[in-house]
Amino acid sequence: MQNSFSTTNLAISVVGDGRPVVFVNGFGSYKEIWTAQVAAFRRGVQTVCFDYHGQGESAGVMATNLEQLAADLAHVIRQQKLVRPLLVGHSMGASVIWAMRRQYPELMVSGIMVVDQSPKMINDAQWRYGYRGLTSRTATVQLQQPRQGHETLRGMVPAVTDAFIRAESHRPFDREQGMKLLSDHFQADWRAQIVAERAPVLFVTAAQTPYFNNGYGQWLSSRNPQVHEVMIQNCGHDVMAEVPDSFNQTLRHFMLQNK
């Protein structure tokens, strides 16, 4: 079963029947980044992907803060009548999940998977697991000048690349328009909330990520027994699109452990 539709300005794609899994995009991304997961989880799983308002196929004006995107995620859960969904957030999508958990604690989840995203982007004297080179002094420059180089190790698999390029060509992301949103993401600090989280949490980190100083998964798991980490090899930032077989196996295992 597959439905694609727009409700309250949101383009939502729902595939399959069964346990609900909601995939949450990173900054400037599209729901098509999850193509390999949608294809793999067709039996016994209901995959839900969506574009934030003002992005991709969704109408409206682009959000300026994480709270607005948290409202998008809450709307998807309520509109689809999802019962205890598993939430999977890539990059900034993890911050959207934490914002939703803070704003809408009544929405119960069965688990949370974070894909290559530190809980605090800005590094300081007490925190060295943020975005590489990002400090309060460099934040303004890094907002205006994207990091040079590739965010993947060897690129995404062809099926994901094709779907992503089609989405991007149809509605290119306006980075300049997204600067307020990215700034809000840069400033966020979710450490205390994650330490207090009672749902199972799995941090999926990329061994060759170009963005983060790995170690935050261990830092968090040492403070909350509900938090665990799995590091996946041979991939950069877009783990689920670069090595989907390894990622999907990790997701399946997490789902079996946390029903």
Q: What is the pLDDT of residues 59-75, one digit of tens each?
A: 999 999 999 999 999 99
Report whether pLDDT(57) > 50.
yes
Report the C-alpha gap between 72 and 85 in whole angstroms. 15
Asked whether residue 6 is domain-assigned, the answer is no
Asked whether residue 61 is domain-assigned, the answer is yes
Asked whether residue 160 is domain-assigned, the answer is yes
Residue 254, CA distances (Å) to 65, 74, 171, 214, 248 in order: 30, 22, 34, 21, 10
Asked whether residue 4 is domain-assigned, the answer is no
CATH code of the domain containing 34: 3.40.50.1820
pLDDT one-digit tens code per residue, 76-128:
999 999 999 999 999 999 999 999 999 999 999 999 999 999 999 999 999 99
Asked whether residue 169 is domain-assigned, the answer is yes
| Structural domain count of the chain | 1
Mean pLDDT of the 136-144 span: 89
Predicted local distance difference test score (pLDDT) of residue 69: 97
Report the C-alpha gap between 231 and 237 in whole angstroms. 12
Report the C-alpha gap between 23 and 113 in whole angstroms. 9
Asked whether residue 100 is domain-assigned, the answer is yes
More confidently predicted of 221 and 148: 221
Given pLDDT bands bounded at 50, 70 and 90, which one contains residue 8? low
- Mean of all residue pLDDT scores within the chain: 94
Report whether pLDDT(11) > 80.
yes
What proportion of the chain, given as a percentage, has pLDDT over 90? 91
Cα 84 → chain centroid:
18
In terms of pTM, does the model score above 0.85? yes
pLDDT one-digit tens code per residue, 158-184:
999 999 999 999 999 999 999 999 999
Asked whether residue 1 is domain-assigned, the answer is no
Asked whether residue 5 is domain-assigned, the answer is no
Report whether pLDDT(192) > 60.
yes
Range of the domain at 177: 12-257
